Structure 1
């Protein structure tokens, strides 16, 4: 149950009252505040508002006027609160309700209610908050929705996103040979757009939270073990493949994304207390990083006269990385998924699950995943999380595929 409090939060003689919405959800207490347009004097609020049976007729009339307005605001806000999912209640939502109460809706009229158009609005509104990588992913979802609309000859509104949409969208994506994991990610993006639209005052379905699917089979992403990395290190290649091999080793011992490690330079290295440290800013997160350089990385730098390997494009790196791993004998068959052309010469690719030789599934991300997996249990998890940049330990453990059963079995080692 929610409650609403009114407060005078200014040092001025006259000011607008603030409101605080207080509610409890999932054992957590929430307090959200915004300002109203209800203006009173400091003297009135502190000395007159709570007077019982005031003798001054002007004070009595002012009390009646202010309390009536407060009651109207309270009823409006609490009525709106009762109609929504508590997870969606935040400061933006509360401010929108106040705007609605005062009929301030000019911005709302400019907000698209068609989902495809709203995606462009979302990217523009949050341009400074989301990465270019996220914007690209959003555009992929947008184009998929455009094809869906064309197939069903209809325009999808934000308010249409419910269980019926989910069922129809899932069937459409399956007919286009999209993997279930891809469909699941698309639905997560779509719900994100809808939740943001709701904060902006756009109507959404009451069943929005039910727009989700569970992926029954989880595809584990490959990583390279220390033994496999040793085999790759010892393999001799021509100059261009040797360049890729060295980048692979560097990525597996620094745990960084290709957008970061492919931009490493000797200028980023400094020495402190006899240790070589690498300082850089992560492209994706904007986070300033300082990480120690592993002896494997230092050996590559020494081999290259203090410089990192030559930078190459992401696409070229991924293509040549597969060759390096194949020629190094990374040929064990494992389950996974890879993009494959659905029919010859169509140029249309979809992810397919199955058994593949491990080198076929290797891409630039294998370095970060190998670092996290290989050093888990050898380096304290909080240190690993610092280097990989995961927000929580749960996210990190999911990333390396550790289940509750795995953790339980590892804990038994400390009982013996």
Structure 2
């Protein structure tokens, strides 16, 4: 952090000039004229203070010291409360500390700034989620002819937005819950900054419905491995990326982080470590012979593909592999339970690979704490969302365990 007081003149011939506060805090520059005008001969450029022989030197320097301390206090207040530093936040805090004035900023202005500040610390998917929220709230405004600002986040907003999500958009409880969770995150941060004074949002319930997601068992994964796609290169590349994720458990957004130099040889097999942007730490996971063969095939530079194309093509791949069992899906729409049937390949997406990795290890009785090391999870209840063994498979695991213990 750098704090300077500058003496500035409009013209070189001027005998007097203005004092300006110049700060650079974690790459964010903040400037503010201090409404203090003095003669150039009375300014000590090195000490950045008024010379003692100036008539009001003591009072002016005392105020400059006060301003310097104010900036330090603002900095540590923001850091200790984990509040992203930006020009507008510094400006608001400075006005508040100096004059008791909290400059008004609208909810949407703050959210746009919140998203931009989040791009350095959060994943692209998380930031995109906030953009979807903004678009959803804008659409809600038009539908209900109601302007959204800080004072609008009351019980009526919650019930009306729920109706909007269910009846107009046809969305699930889980998606509605995700939007509410995002709103609460934003409002909590704004409350810390003193921008929001309305606290009813803290009582908003984040609704979730747990529904079974599909995974591929080891037989189905082998079908993909044996599938000849030499005449369909676009599908072959997607199949290979998917299998690497099935074998290592790496997220689709992070498969490009797997590097040759990060391979390690243990007593019982190879492992690979990679940096996870989502968890901001290195993750160590298994690297079996199939994964290593695929990584070597592309010289540890797996092809890049957009998530949209990937999810489309992997369904084609699974259909060609005849992963087409009829699945009965139990889920929610518009907040109400519904049931429908789909062929399994239609339900496969990028996240299926990581889910398959976890579930197949679980079915082999690998302890969950060891699976968590390979996935980078820190909470067992989060990992449990990836375990998708059916009731029959779970009972069969119990029988296996009882036989071993008996």
TM range (shorter): 0.5 to 0.7
Deviation, structure 1 residue 119 = 1.3
**Preserved CA contact (<8 Å) 2:238 2:310:** yes
Name the CA shift for 1:205/1:310 in 2 (closer, same or farther; >3 Å): closer
Counterpart of 2:240 in structure 1 is 246
Which residue of structure 1 aligns with residue 294 of structure 2?
300
What is the aligned partner in structure 1 of residue 375 from structure 2?
388
SS in 2 for 1:379: coil
- Mapped partners of 1:295, 1:398: distance in 2: 27
**2:134 is matched with which residue: 142, 150, 158?**
142
1:162-201 correspondence runs (5 A): 162-174=154-166, 175-201=168-194
- Give structure 1 stretches of 5+ with no counterpart: 1-89, 94-98, 339-351
Aligned to 2:48: none
Once the two structures are overlaid, the 10-residue window that deviates more, 365-374 or 176-185, is: 176-185
Query: 1:123 aligns to what?
Result: 115
Does the aligned pair in 2 maintain the 1:108–1:200 contact within 8 Å? no
Alpha-carbon shift at residue 152 of structure 1 (Å): 2.0
Q: For this pair of structures, how many residues does the alignment match? A: 305
Report the counterpart of residue 75 of structure 2 in structure 1: none
Whole-Å Cα distance in 2 between the matches of residues 234 and 126 of structure 1? 42
What CA deviation, in whole Å up to 9, does each residue of 1:123-170 have, x standing for no partner?
Answer: 245454323322111111011101111222222122322221111011
**TM-score, normalization by structure 1:** 0.63
Stretches of structure 2 that go unaligned for 5 or more consecutive residues are: 1-78, 83-91, 332-337
Query: Structure 1 residues 411 and 107, CA, compared in 2 at 3 Å: closer, same or farther?
Result: farther
| TM-score between both structures, scaled by the size of structure 2 | 0.64
Alignment counterpart, residue 379 of structure 1, candidates 366, 386, 393: 366
In 1, Cα distance between the equivalents of 2:176 and 2:298? 47
Distance 1:324 1:103, change over 3 A: closer
**Contact 2:275–2:282 (CA<8 Å) still a contact in 1?**
yes
Residue range with higher mean Cα deviation, 192-201 or 123-132? 123-132
**1:2-401 alignment, distance < 5 Å:** 92=81, 104=97, 109-110=102-103, 112=105, 114-174=106-166, 175-212=168-205, 214-215=207-208, 217-237=209-229, 238-240=231-233, 241-271=235-265, 275-301=269-295, 304=297, 307=300, 309-336=302-329, 354-376=340-362, 378-400=365-387
Over 3 Å counting, the alpha-carbon distance change for 1:110 and 1:358 in structure 2 is farther
Give the 3 Å change call, closer, same or farther, for CA 373–121 of structure 1 in structure 2. same
Give how far 1:327 is off.
1.1
State the distance in 2 between where 1:107 and 1:335 align: 61
Change (3 A) 1:108 1:290: farther
CA distance in 2, matches of 1:378, 1:225: 15
